[in-house]
Amino acid sequence: MEIIHFEHNKQAAELVAKWYDSPPLAYVHSFGCQQNVNDGEKIKGVLADIGYGMCDSVEEADLILFNTCAVREHAEQRVFGNVGALKRLKKDKPGLIIGLCGCMAQQQSIVDKIRESYPFVDIVFGVNGIDTLPQLLCEKIAGNKKRILLTPTERAEVVEETPIRRDSNFRAWLPIMYGCDNFCTYCIVPYVRGRERSRRSADILAEFKELVAAGYKEITLLGQNVNSYGKGLEEQIDFSDLLNLLCTVPGDYHIRFMTSHPKDASRKLIDTIAAQDKICNHLHLPVQSGSDRILAQMNRHYTVAQYLELMDYAKEKIPGITFSSDIIVGFPGETEEDFEGTLELIRKVGYMQLFTFIYSKRSGTKAATMPDPITRKEKTDRMARLLSVQDEIARKLVADMTGQTQRVLVEGSGRDEGTLSGRLTNNLVVEFTAEPSLVGSYAMVHLTGSRGTVLKGELV
Ligand code: 5AD
Ligand code: SF4
């Protein structure tokens, strides 16, 4: 069969236009972290560039793409369930193209499983293969060639200028680096997303300026470990320098960033947040565990005392700062004493929000080889205890905010009819009655009370 080489998207667009009677529709669903959601926006941008419209249901679609996450086993099982459910759809609509991409697609074992058990999947490509999508699609359309591409994790260059179709017109993700070098022993990310690569600051600044000019209010800088931004670049720049550079762009906007690694989060970073009004007074600093023994087993390179010292410094320098964190419960060998260390730590810090996960064994990682004698029941019990302690902490912190008047970015509808939901710079959410036309803009809201961990307020 003829091999088709597409040098750029224009040729792909011509083929797509010739092949379909009317513009085809794509359904793209991204699982997992913000980095993956941003990749999904790029996938949609590339598809729009070659003539696809977007749709919200698999039934309407000519192309279905699942942009997957591999961080926990549960996420992988969900994807297989979703893909399996498409088999019948494909029978009824033979021209339907089904694709799987993202972190799961970077793993040989997953690709093998797709080949063996899901033969109706047409294209597979990994996180570094978004720019190859037009070619894969065209080969499928014109040559009816199934394309399973295992994208090398080490494909090292940073691809700039991929088209993008953003999900929101007032909140944007802006990746500043890709990959991770940390090899926390539980984590699959370094194996699927490869080594750390930072984008050049000039490229980030250019995209940032475009976003501000387009009216974006909230720009979230993304990276697996933003605090090691700059490593390997020719220019001498660190994450704080990058933040200071971006803050020179005039406009009405604010900056968030994630994720920070405690071992690299510096006092300089805290000082930068304190000095720059445009950076939100919220820090997501995943601690994972409150036991030094477990932290060492996790290869995290900090102790509880070092972590707490940085948090105290942040509290002192940035009045009103709030914290959030990721916690893993039931890491292999976690004892009751280790777990109590975690409870003690979360009480000391006083997080506004926790993202909590029961340890999930990922094959290929170091922790997967560690003895794990704790029963599932023990792990779920610990999780329930953790959630209950955290709920109490968060409710109190939220309730203590009442009486203040704060600027919020209005994000969408609230839970009750006629209400809107807005986010404070400290990342708390407030609901208040107002016109839907306010969505996407800033509003001043007086905080009158709370319901659980959500504030109630009145538009000023
Ligand atoms: N099991 C459970 N949670 C995990 N995370 C990463 N890998 C695993 C795993 N194998 C969590 C960590 C990380 C977050 C994004 O996901 O807490 O910070
Ligand atoms: Fe995974 Fe650790 Fe890298 Fe985060 S810093 S992506 S938890 S290896």
Would you say the CB of residue 182 lies under 6 angstroms from ligand 2? yes
Strand partners, 356: 327
Mean pLDDT of 430-458: 97
**In sequence order, which residues have a C-beta less than 8 Å from that of residue 204 and are 6 or more positions away?**
174, 176, 221, 242, 246
Would you say the CB of residue 83 lies under 6 angstroms from ligand 2? no
Please say if the pLDDT value at position 278 is more than 60: yes
Please say if the pLDDT value at position 2 is more than 50: no
The reported pLDDT for the residue numbered 156 is 59
Please say if the pLDDT value at position 11 is more than 90: no
Ligand nearest to the CA of 326: 1
pLDDT band at 158 (very low <50, low <70, confident <90, very high): confident
* Better pLDDT: 323 or 134: 323
The model's pLDDT over 55-98, given as tens digits with 9 standing for 90+, comes to 999 999 999 999 999 999 999 999 999 999 999 999 999 899 99
pLDDT band at 150 (very low <50, low <70, confident <90, very high): low
Rounded alpha-carbon distances, angstroms, from residue 307 to 244, 285, 299, 342? 24, 9, 15, 12
Please say if the pLDDT value at position 417 is more than 60: yes
* CA 82–ligand 2 middle distance (angstroms): 27
d(CA 36, CA 13): 25
Can the peptide bond before residue 425 be classed as cis, meaning omega within 30 degrees of 0? no
Q: Taking the domain 167-399, which CATH number applies? A: 3.80.30.20
Please say if the pLDDT value at position 442 is more than 70: yes
Closest ligand 2 atom to Cα of 180 = 3
CB 445, CB 458: distance < 8 Å: yes
Closest ligand 1 atom to Cα of 259 = 18
Residue 101 counted as an annotated binding residue: no
The reported pLDDT for the residue numbered 146 is 64
pLDDT more than 90, % of the chain: 87
Would you say the CB of residue 362 lies under 6 angstroms from ligand 2? no
Mean pLDDT of 180-209: 96
Superfamily the domain 3-149 falls into: Methylthiotransferase, N-terminal domain (3.40.50.12160)
Please say if the pLDDT value at position 118 is more than 90: yes
The residue behind tokens 């090292």 is: 156
Closest ligand 1 atom to Cα of 327 = 17
Residue 184 counted as an annotated binding residue: yes
Rg (CA), the chain: 23
Residue 69 counted as an annotated binding residue: yes
The model's pLDDT over 220-251, given as tens digits with 9 standing for 90+, comes to 999 999 999 999 999 999 999 999 999 999 99
Q: Taking the domain 405-459, which CATH number applies? A: 2.40.50
Q: Are strands 218-222 and 171-175 parallel, antiparallel or unpaired?
A: parallel
* Mean per-residue pLDDT over the chain, rounded: 93
The reported pLDDT for the residue numbered 161 is 80
Would you say the CB of residue 359 lies under 6 angstroms from ligand 1? yes
- Give the count of alpha carbons within 13 A of 120, CB side only: 19
pTM, rounded to two decimals: 0.94
User: DSSP 3-state helix, strand, coil percentages of the chain (rounded to 5)?
Assistant: 40, 20, 40
pLDDT band at 143 (very low <50, low <70, confident <90, very high): confident
pLDDT band at 395 (very low <50, low <70, confident <90, very high): very high
* CA 177–ligand 2 middle distance (angstroms): 13
CA-nearest residue for atom 13, ligand 1, is 326
Neighbouring CB atoms inside 10 A of 383's CB total 17
* CA 330–ligand 1 middle distance (angstroms): 11
Would you say the CB of residue 288 lies under 6 angstroms from ligand 1? yes
Domain coordinates in residue numbering, the chain? 3-149, 167-399, 405-459
The reported pLDDT for the residue numbered 4 is 45
The reported pLDDT for the residue numbered 312 is 98
CB 50, CB 81: distance < 8 Å: no
Based on DSSP, count helices (H) and strands (E) in the chain, helices before strands. 14, 19
